Amino acid sequence: MSETYRSGFVAIVGRPNVGKSTFMNRMIGEKIAIMSSKAQTTRNKIQGIYTDDNAQIVFVDTPGIHKPHNELDEYMDQAALSTFNEVDAILFMISGIDKKGPGDQYIMDQLKNVKKPVYLVVNKIDAIHPDDLLPMIEQYRHELDFKGVYPISALEGNNVPEMLKELEQTLPEGPQYYPEDQLTDHPEYFVVGELIREKILELTHEEVPHSVAVVVERMKDRVNGKLQIEANIIVERDGQKRIIIGQKGSIIKEIGIRSRREIEALLGEKVNLKLWVKIQKNWRDNNQYLREFGYNKKRL
């Protein structure tokens, strides 16, 4: 253990689907942020806590920043942008397999006003040719004075330990904010709801994933040694409800099976999971429903 203990908060920002949640889960060593190939998977700021003998880093996984189309999108953008001045360092993550786009430029413009150290993190280098890496990096470096540049693979772990070591040295001296065995600041019911939503993303397509919210209503009683969990799946239209239920209940059954498997692994105990699908028209544009479903701007 070093004589100086360091601690602080590090935001992970970037446009949708660049691999922020995959990176978060690798750093923590457990699945606390859901993953999907679909954009806008992460909706809330999720804190993952990394602790070793020398430092504690609280990583803040933020929603992908994008042009808002409804109140939920507005909430997600505010959730991401509000972290800029609340943290000790920022990881600006881009995808090595995608060209620089308007979304990347928008985030760059916001970062120009930030006084904290900003690192450029080029993810998914396992999927690109090394010769393509330097020209991509130069597109960004001429606009912003980055504290450092790290090409990584969040999936395979390339260069992640080296980046972690520099982050520890960048953070200020400070206390250990959380117990060493705590992995996230979110309560278990939040993570459980997110795991259920991830399975819906896996099994549905088109407009359904963006229209879904999951609210865990019950998660405490045990019957015959199994934790009883009840959750509502909220959609906006009857057609979406039919898709999630599936023919003869096939889809919601599979959602339940896959969700229960991961929830049991997370909690370390047997679970009885009950799911209901409910319609709440246009909930993404209704501030009351947004608050009820856990998207409260006042908490940002």
- Specify binding-site residues for GTP: 14-21, 61-65, 123-126
Q: Which two tokens stand for residue 153?
A: 């693979």
Q: Residues marked as binding?
A: 14-21, 61-65, 123-126
In 3-state terms, the chain is what percent helix, strand and coil (to 5)? 40, 25, 40
If we measure between CA atoms, which residue out of 54, 46, 53, 6 comes closest to residue 22? 46
- Residue 225 one-letter amino acid: G
Beta partners for 227? Answer: 222, 271
Sign of CA dihedral 252, 255, 261, 265: negative
Beta partners for 265? Answer: none
Integer Cα distance of 123 and 13 in angstroms: 12
How open is the CA angle 264-43-148, to the nearest 5 degrees?
100
Max CA-CA distance within the chain? 62
- 166 three-class SS: helix
Angle between helices 20-28 and 160-170 (to 10 degrees): 80
- 198 three-class SS: helix
Integer Cα distance of 161 and 159 in angstroms: 6
If we measure between CA atoms, which residue out of 246, 249, 268, 271 comes closest to residue 260? 271
Q: Which two tokens stand for residue 64?
A: 């992908």
